[in-house]
Amino acid sequence: MGYLIDEVPIVSKVLRNKDDSCWSFFCPGCEVTHNFYDSWVFNGDLERPTVEPSIKVEYCRYPLVDPTTGDFARGADGEYILDEHRMLRGAKKMTCHSFIRDGMIRFLADCTHGLAGKTVPLLDVPDDPPADHDIKRHS
Ligand SMILES: [Zn+2]
Protein backbone atom coordinates (compact mmCIF):
# COMPACT_ATOMS: atom_id res chain seq x y z
CA MET A 1 0.00 0.00 0.00
CA GLY A 2 2.97 2.25 0.61
CA TYR A 3 1.76 5.18 2.65
CA LEU A 4 3.25 6.15 5.98
CA ILE A 5 1.26 5.11 8.97
CA ASP A 6 1.52 8.56 10.55
CA GLU A 7 -0.50 10.00 7.68
CA VAL A 8 -3.40 7.79 8.62
CA PRO A 9 -6.12 9.54 10.61
CA ILE A 10 -7.18 8.15 13.95
CA VAL A 11 -10.83 7.15 13.78
CA SER A 12 -11.01 5.44 17.16
CA LYS A 13 -8.66 4.29 19.87
CA VAL A 14 -8.17 0.92 18.23
CA LEU A 15 -8.49 1.62 14.50
CA ARG A 16 -7.11 4.01 11.92
CA ASN A 17 -8.00 4.35 8.30
CA LYS A 18 -6.89 6.37 5.34
CA ASP A 19 -9.90 5.59 3.20
CA ASP A 20 -12.68 3.06 3.11
CA SER A 21 -10.41 0.40 1.63
CA CYS A 22 -7.74 0.06 4.33
CA TRP A 23 -7.85 -0.10 8.11
CA SER A 24 -5.01 -0.62 10.53
CA PHE A 25 -4.86 -1.85 14.11
CA PHE A 26 -2.04 -2.31 16.58
CA CYS A 27 -1.08 -5.93 17.11
CA PRO A 28 0.01 -6.64 20.70
CA GLY A 29 1.73 -9.85 19.58
CA CYS A 30 3.99 -8.23 16.98
CA GLU A 31 3.95 -4.72 18.50
CA VAL A 32 3.40 -3.28 15.03
CA THR A 33 0.35 -2.30 13.01
CA HIS A 34 -1.33 -4.70 10.61
CA ASN A 35 -3.86 -3.79 7.93
CA PHE A 36 -7.08 -5.23 6.66
CA TYR A 37 -8.78 -4.14 3.49
CA ASP A 38 -12.20 -3.83 1.95
CA SER A 39 -12.05 -7.46 0.85
CA TRP A 40 -12.63 -8.30 4.54
CA VAL A 41 -16.06 -7.96 6.09
CA PHE A 42 -15.91 -5.34 8.85
CA ASN A 43 -18.95 -4.75 11.04
CA GLY A 44 -18.17 -1.02 11.21
CA ASP A 45 -17.88 -0.91 15.00
CA LEU A 46 -14.91 1.41 15.60
CA GLU A 47 -14.47 0.50 19.27
CA ARG A 48 -15.31 -3.21 19.28
CA PRO A 49 -14.66 -4.29 15.71
CA THR A 50 -15.43 -7.66 14.22
CA VAL A 51 -13.59 -8.55 11.01
CA GLU A 52 -14.05 -11.65 8.86
CA PRO A 53 -12.29 -13.82 7.82
CA SER A 54 -9.02 -14.19 9.72
CA ILE A 55 -6.09 -11.83 9.12
CA LYS A 56 -2.82 -13.55 8.27
CA VAL A 57 0.31 -11.44 7.96
CA GLU A 58 3.75 -12.72 6.98
CA TYR A 59 6.64 -10.32 7.12
CA CYS A 60 10.31 -10.01 7.90
CA ARG A 61 11.45 -8.55 11.19
CA TYR A 62 14.79 -6.96 10.56
CA PRO A 63 17.67 -7.34 12.99
CA LEU A 64 18.95 -4.59 15.22
CA VAL A 65 21.03 -1.96 13.47
CA ASP A 66 24.60 -1.24 14.53
CA PRO A 67 24.29 1.82 16.80
CA THR A 68 27.58 3.29 15.56
CA THR A 69 26.57 3.22 11.88
CA GLY A 70 22.78 3.18 12.04
CA ASP A 71 22.96 0.39 9.49
CA PHE A 72 22.76 -3.37 9.57
CA ALA A 73 25.95 -5.29 10.32
CA ARG A 74 28.39 -5.63 7.44
CA GLY A 75 31.26 -8.06 7.03
CA ALA A 76 34.89 -7.23 6.30
CA ASP A 77 34.00 -7.14 2.58
CA GLY A 78 31.52 -4.35 3.20
CA GLU A 79 28.55 -6.52 2.30
CA TYR A 80 25.62 -7.19 4.60
CA ILE A 81 26.05 -10.36 6.64
CA LEU A 82 23.45 -12.90 5.50
CA ASP A 83 22.27 -16.16 7.00
CA GLU A 84 21.78 -19.49 5.24
CA HIS A 85 18.45 -18.27 3.82
CA ARG A 86 20.15 -15.17 2.38
CA MET A 87 18.30 -13.02 4.86
CA LEU A 88 20.07 -10.42 6.96
CA ARG A 89 21.67 -12.20 9.90
CA GLY A 90 19.33 -11.91 12.87
CA ALA A 91 16.26 -11.23 10.72
CA LYS A 92 13.23 -13.33 11.53
CA LYS A 93 10.34 -14.41 9.38
CA MET A 94 7.16 -13.59 11.25
CA THR A 95 3.70 -15.04 10.88
CA CYS A 96 0.74 -13.48 12.62
CA HIS A 97 -2.69 -15.04 12.17
CA SER A 98 -5.69 -13.77 14.06
CA PHE A 99 -9.42 -13.29 14.27
CA ILE A 100 -10.77 -9.94 15.43
CA ARG A 101 -14.14 -10.34 17.09
CA ASP A 102 -16.02 -7.88 19.29
CA GLY A 103 -12.89 -5.86 20.05
CA MET A 104 -10.85 -8.92 20.98
CA ILE A 105 -8.04 -10.42 18.95
CA ARG A 106 -7.65 -14.19 18.99
CA PHE A 107 -4.25 -15.38 17.85
CA LEU A 108 -4.09 -18.75 16.16
CA ALA A 109 -1.46 -21.37 16.92
CA ASP A 110 0.62 -20.61 13.81
CA CYS A 111 1.69 -17.19 15.10
CA THR A 112 5.44 -16.89 15.64
CA HIS A 113 5.07 -14.47 18.57
CA GLY A 114 4.38 -15.08 22.23
CA LEU A 115 0.61 -14.54 22.08
CA ALA A 116 0.00 -17.58 19.84
CA GLY A 117 -3.13 -19.35 21.04
CA LYS A 118 -4.23 -16.45 23.26
CA THR A 119 -7.16 -14.03 23.06
CA VAL A 120 -6.53 -10.45 24.22
CA PRO A 121 -8.30 -7.09 23.85
CA LEU A 122 -7.32 -4.84 20.97
CA LEU A 123 -5.00 -2.13 22.27
CA ASP A 124 -5.13 1.57 21.57
CA VAL A 125 -3.06 2.47 18.53
CA PRO A 126 0.07 4.28 19.82
CA ASP A 127 1.01 7.74 18.57
CA ASP A 128 3.74 6.59 16.20
CA PRO A 129 3.42 2.86 15.68
CA PRO A 130 5.79 0.90 13.47
CA ALA A 131 4.10 -0.92 10.61
CA ASP A 132 4.68 -4.58 9.89
CA HIS A 133 6.76 -3.84 6.80
CA ASP A 134 10.21 -2.23 6.73
CA ILE A 135 10.86 -2.34 10.45
CA LYS A 136 14.26 -1.10 11.55
CA ARG A 137 14.77 -1.71 15.21
CA HIS A 138 17.13 0.69 16.94
CA SER A 139 16.87 -0.75 20.42
ZN1 LIG B 1 0.71 -9.42 14.67
What is the per-residue pLDDT across 45-62, written as a single tens digit (0 to 9) for each? 999 999 999 999 988 888
pLDDT on residue 112: 95
Give pLDDT tens digits for 121-133. Answer: 999 988 877 777 6
Whether residue 19 is contained in a domain is answered as yes
Whether residue 138 is contained in a domain is answered as no
CA pair distance 5, 71, nearest whole angstrom:
22
Whether residue 137 is contained in a domain is answered as no
Residue-number span of the structural domain to which 28 is assigned: 11-121
Whether residue 5 is contained in a domain is answered as no
- Residue 61's H or E segment, with its range, is strand 51-61
CA pair distance 131, 30, nearest whole angstrom:
10
Q: What is the mean pLDDT of residues 64-69?
A: 85
Query: Do residues 138 and 64 touch, judged by C-beta distance below 8 A?
Result: yes
pLDDT on residue 107: 98
Backbone angles phi and psi of 113, in degrees to 5: -105, 175
- CA 9 vs. chain centroid, Å, equals 17
Domain count, the chain: 1
> Above 80 in pLDDT, residue 3?
no
Whether residue 97 is contained in a domain is answered as yes
Q: How far is the CA of 67 from the centre of ligand 1 (A)?
A: 26
Q: How far is the CA of 82 from the centre of ligand 1 (A)?
A: 25
Whether residue 66 is contained in a domain is answered as yes
Ligand 1 (ion): which residues have CB within 5 A? 27, 29-30, 96
The predicted model scores a pTM of 0.78
Whether residue 107 is contained in a domain is answered as yes
> Above 80 in pLDDT, residue 92?
yes
Whether residue 1 is contained in a domain is answered as no
Q: How far is the CA of 96 from the centre of ligand 1 (A)?
A: 5
